Amino acid sequence: MDGRANIPAMADPASVWKLVQRADELVKYAQNRDPHTAYAQARAVLDEAETLTGELDAKAAEGFRAQIRTRREDIARFEAQT
């Protein structure tokens, strides 16, 4: 048995970026389905990405947090238009 099996894996920037991109896709195609559901799902994915930023170095984490904030603001604006 590998002794490292009990050590939680650290997030890497690529993992966080994939989640941000997934949220972007949900928002991009929101009008093709139920926008309310799509925006809620995008926010949940962004929440997950933000949680993972706590496992990154400070500089990378802040860069991702800024992008996540911008995307949340965009979602709020889109929701106000629907």
In angstroms, the CA 27 to CA 41 distance is: 9
Note the pLDDT of residue 8. 52
In angstroms, the CA 74 to CA 7 distance is: 36
Walk along the chain (82 residues) and give the pLDDT tens digit of each residue: 444 444 456 789 999 999 999 999 999 999 999 999 999 999 999 999 999 999 999 999 999 999 999 999 999 999 999 7
pTM for this prediction: 0.85
What sign does the CA torsion over 32, 38, 42, 48 have? negative
Domain residue ranges of the chain, discontinuous segments joined by +: 10-81
